[in-house]
Every structure is written in structure tokens, then in C-alpha cells.
Amino acid sequence: MIKVITYGTFDLLHHGHLNLLRRAKALGDYLIVGVTSENYDKARGKLNVKKSLAERVADVLATGLADEIIVEEYEGQKIDDIQRHNVDVFAIGSDWLDKFNYLREYCRVVYLERTKNISSTMIRDAALRVTTLGVIGSGRIANRFIPESKYVSGVDVAGVYNPRETAAAEFRDRHELRFATANLHQLLSSVDAVYIASPHHTHAEYTRAALRAGRHVLCEKPLVLTAAEATELYDLAAARDLVLLEALKSAYCPGFKHLVSLLKSGAIGQVKDISASFTKLVEGKPRELSSREAGSVTELGSYAFLPALKLLGVHYHRASFHSWRDNAGVDLFTRGLIEYPSANASFKVGLGVKTEGNLVISGTRGYAYVPAPWWKTEYFELRHENPDDVKKYFYKFDGDGLRYELDEFLRLINDRERRHSYMFSPAESIAAARLIENFRDGKNTTNIY
């Protein structure tokens, strides 16, 4: 008996899938179909799968073409499956041409011609309302955002705005966008939503203008620099039934989301202490070190506050800061403490001092350890008094991580009943702005030079 195996997501099953399954079946006597799990899809950056694993397995089963269905859960599983099931032929669509030649050591590899002019992505985009997006700003983060957007269905990045017309045009040409403009009104009248990646102090102005124009807003962190502005903007978005989401990528990545869920469910008991660090060394005089308006807390504080706000809440009663500043008054390193009624959260952020970038969350029945860089959570451990009880969790943080925030943004736009994200709520965003504001105002702050 000749055994054939093939793999796929098989989301929104269509005649292209059926043709591939029929061709694979014809190669032998027994067809095994591997359907990718939700976690594996997310781990390889596939964020736009619409149907659940159970639904996709049922769809493949209903074709009557599969003699056996298995679930693909991890990278490298194909070799294990081929050996375990004594497979003779591995078959896959021709869009993967030569990508699986390494399997020839174990079986025959066949690339099947795929049905043209049909794909799950096309069907998803037809079923979804595609959101036309404009980018405000054309700096480093905006340049990282465009490639990340390619991994998320339902979005069309159309153009860019920069008050410097030549910078906008260069960005348009680099990323092959349809238009560039130095006129904000032109951008806002041409899109459904905007991604704001401009300097921090301009976020409030651009967000306000976009919301007043009826446009959804995904704004880079920090959203704004005062709690009052944050409250005003979230209220404005709610009044106009628009999505306003702060683009704090760590909050939306799979690993960090699961960590929060586990700890909130009591996996280490009651959380009593949090220690988070995020530092990096920058050279010269980039924007982050340009003035007292910039610095470590403004640039990195949103990340460092995130674990405390997610696990201990937004109602802290005191925050204190201890900073080392340069001669111009820019904070190069700040250590802080956020005090809650029954717990503490400490943090370190720095642009001129480097320290271990891990996250430790201490509880009454154990602790969570996330190694550096914790803000790109790919792995963490839940540790207990008995070493045998340690649990390890692995996740993939794909690319620059901006795809996760964009995916959540589009979900909120398309789900008219849910305009706020539980992953980073307006209340949490406002609390982060208040912490930045208190620091910038010098409240409970000690400085050394």
C-alpha cells in the first residue's frame, strides 16, 4: 500500500483545496491529511485564519478524500509524521516549490499544480470589508510596519502622510504605495483608518484630527503624554463609534497574552511583586535623546508598565521614579516603583544604561520567569518550590510583532459590538499615560546627573 501525506490550513475550504486533495489521493492508496493547529498557524505568523481547528478538520473529513486526518502542531513535525506513518509520498501545492526538498531523504516529494485564481486569502478578503489604511509618519517604525502588514488579511495600506513632501514620496516609492501627501486632509479623505507613527508629541493632534474625520486610529505608543488627553481621545472615539487602539505590540503577542491569562487564573497564586526591565543602548543624538521631552520613560515606559497594569490593575496609589540624566536633562536610565494596596511593581528603563531585560512576577504559590527580551515573549516558565512542578511554555514572536497589533485593530473594526480591546484597554492606556505624565512633571522623582 502506498501512503501519501499532505498538509494545509484548509481554511474556508474551496475547490482549489479539493483539487489538491484529489491529486494527492491519486498518487497512492491511502491519504493522510495534516491540518494545522491554531497555535501553529499563529506561531508561523498566519493570523488571518477564520475557522477553528475543529471546523477545518470537519470540512476536510466531509470531502471523503482523507483516509486519516492528523493535526500539525509544531515546526519539524513533517519528518516525524513521515517516519511514524511509514509515508511513501509527500505532496504539497506548487506554490511551495523546492521548499520541502529536504524531505526527499525520507520519501518521494511531489509538488502539485495549484488551482489558479483561487485562494483562502482571496475568499477571506471578499468576505471581509477590506480596510484602507493610511500611514502618518515615515520614520523607522513606519518602515517596519509596511512589511508586517503583508501578514494580515483585510487591510490595504494605500498611502502615507508626512509634512515633508519629499520624505512622504520616498516612503511611497520604497513601499510601492498608491499615494503620498503632505496634506493631512487629503490622507484622511482617502482612507478608512490611520496608523500613526509620528513623533510622540504629535500623537494627540493627529489622533484627534483622524477621529473627527471619522477614521479609526491605531497609534504607536505612547498614545499621548497626559491622562487628560488620553481620556479625551477615547471619549471622542466612543462618541463616534470608532476604534482607537494604542499600538503596544507586546500586549497583543501570543506569548504575553497566555502568560497574563495563566497568572490571572491563579497559576502562581496571588501576584505580590513584579520586576520588569527594558533597556537599550543608543548612539549619537537620535529622537529618543533629543530633549527633556524624550528619554527612557517616554520611549520605553509603556512596555515596562504593561505587566503591572495587566496583572495588578490601574488603581495604584503611588508611583516614584529615580533617574540618571545627562547634562541636557534627558533621562538616560530610570528605576521606578508602582505601589498598590497589596503588591508592588518595580521597573527599569534605559537608553544609556544596559541591564538584564527579563520579567519576574512573584506570587504566593510560585513565580513566573520570562527571559530577555521579555517584551517579545517567546518563552516563559512558571516555577514552584518543587523543581519537578516547573512548567515551560514556548511561543513564536514573528517579525517585528507589529502584525499582532494590526490584527487586533482590524478585528475591532470588523466587530461592531466590540470597540475596545481586552488585551490593552482604554483604562490601561490612560493609566500608562498618567504614569508618563507624572514622571515628566517631576512628581515623586529623584534625579542624579
- pLDDT for 11: 86
Rounded to two decimals, what is the model's pTM?
0.77
| 416: pLDDT strictly greater than 80 | no
Sorting pLDDT into bands at 50, 70 and 90, what band is 52?
A: confident
- 121-163 pLDDT, tens digit per residue, is 555 555 557 899 999 999 999 999 999 998 887 899 999 999 9
| 200: pLDDT strictly greater than 60 | yes
Rounded Cα–Cα distance for residues 335 and 253 (Å):
25
- pLDDT for 374: 98
Rounded Cα–Cα distance for residues 343 and 357 (Å):
21
Whether residue 371 is preceded by a cis peptide bond, meaning omega within 30 degrees of 0, is no
- 335-379 pLDDT, tens digit per residue, is 999 999 999 999 999 999 999 999 999 999 999 999 999 999 999
Inter-helix orientation angle 296-311/426-440, to 10°:
140
- pLDDT for 263: 95
- pLDDT for 415: 81
User: How many helices (H) and strands (E) in the chain?
Assistant: 14, 20
- pLDDT for 198: 96
- pLDDT for 116: 58
- pLDDT for 347: 98
Residue partners of 258: CB distance under 8 A and separation at least 6: 393, 395
- pLDDT for 50: 73
Residue 445 near residue 329, CB atoms below 8 Å:
no
- pLDDT for 153: 79
Q: What are the structural domains of the chain? A: 3-121 (3.40.50.620), 122-248 (3.40.50.720), 251-448 (3.30.360.10)
